[in-house]
Copies of this chain bind each other. A is one copy, B any other.
Amino acid sequence: MSQSPKQSAGRSVPTSADVARLAGVSRATVSYVLNNTAAVRISEPTRRRVREAAEELGYVPHAAARSLRAGHSRMVLMPTAHVPIGPLYSGFLNELQWALRRLDYTVVQYAGVGLEADEAARAWAELRPVAVVSLGRAGLTPSGVELLKRAGARAVITVGPQQIAGTHALVMDQTTVGRAAGAHLVERGCRAVGVVMPEEPGLEMFSVPRLDGVRAAAERAGATVVPLPLRYEEEPADRLAARWRELGLDGVFAYNDEYAMLLMRALQDAGIAIPEETAVVGSDDLVLGRLLRPRLSTVHIDMVRGQELAELVDRAVRDPEAAPERRELLASRIVRRESS
């Protein structure tokens, strides 16, 4: 079905051969000049002719052809799980990309939406990345990892709740977040602790381990824990607040500061005194927590710096045989303000 030939958009894409022809030299010479190959010496007049020809044609080398020839690339693939991550994680992500660039890697975020597990791994493998940094549980199985490595990936790094065989892992143990909150609430005298569980999809990765952490801390002290599913909207929060007293909770961990704000407002409107009747703790230490009245107690999370992860990637690429590293990505500590 060629109703219009490839050159329809004017001229066809210039190649190094075109540059060579225009400059009156061979393709090899063009390559030498444009790549500043040190091993060969090209006369200055020739260099200029080549450069001018390239400029005139608007020549840009073809990355695919280059890496095909080279047999490898410096592409780091970051499959993006499409979860609405907060400012904390997107900040980390930016830092990471920036650091990888400085190490001369090409960072490509690949949108593998709608693919399942090994199917996704296949799609990534087709791009022949030198490394894969998988955030969240982006459906990476051991066999997927194996596939990627066979396709030439020198390192697979997972950033998520657990380590996967054959990968380096930056473990984000979200249970520590819940544990910090739970321990604090118990210490403040709470005996019945609610835990807000966002109903928005994609957040289970964070919310479930956080709940587990609260459980671990609270139940050890003999307190009970009640999960509280909640959508991030005003009305569901009001409904929850309306039946608050019958729940009989004297403390609540609200998943993060935003949900804490939502819940606090609803509780206050319902006449629940904070922290006297119910203590509230959020997480992530966002600015908005300090703006609430009473000021919001929260769990502060120290993330590893993107720079560090970038260096791990680089190390792993340079030495693919090295034993998988495993590092804790975050440390949690409670920040007590007025709401607990």
List residues of chain A with CB under 8 Å of any chain B CB. 6, 8-11, 13-14, 57-58, 60-65, 67-68, 71-73, 80, 82, 84, 87, 90-91, 94, 97-98, 100-102, 106-111, 113-114, 122, 125-128, 146-147, 149-152, 154, 232-234, 258, 261-262, 265, 287-288, 290-291, 320-321
Contacts and interface: CB of A to CB of B under 8 A. Distances in A.
Contacts of A107: 110-111
Contacts of A8: 320-321
Contacts of A290: 234
Contacts of A6: 71-72
A285 to B, nearest CB: 12
Contact of A128 (B64, B111, B152, B258): B64
A28 B160 CA distance: 42
Contacts of A126: 60-63
Given A8-B321, A58-B151, 12 more contacts: A62-B68, A63-B126, A63-B127, A64-B127, A82-B94, A84-B87, A84-B90, A84-B91, A97-B113, A100-B111, A107-B110, A233-B287
Contacts of A147: 58, 60
Contacts of A102: 114
A217 to B, nearest CB: 28
A49 to B, nearest CB: 20
Nearest to A152: B13
**How many protomers of this protein does the assembly include?**
2
Nearest to A263: B291
Contact of A101 (B13, B67, B111, B288): B111
A200 to B, nearest CB: 11
13 contacts: A8-B321, A9-B149, A13-B128, A60-B151, A64-B73, A65-B68, A68-B68, A97-B113, A98-B114, A101-B111, A107-B110, A262-B287, A265-B291
A152 B147 CA distance: 32
Nearest to A73: B64
Nearest to A80: B109
Contacts of A146: 58
B113 A98 contact: yes
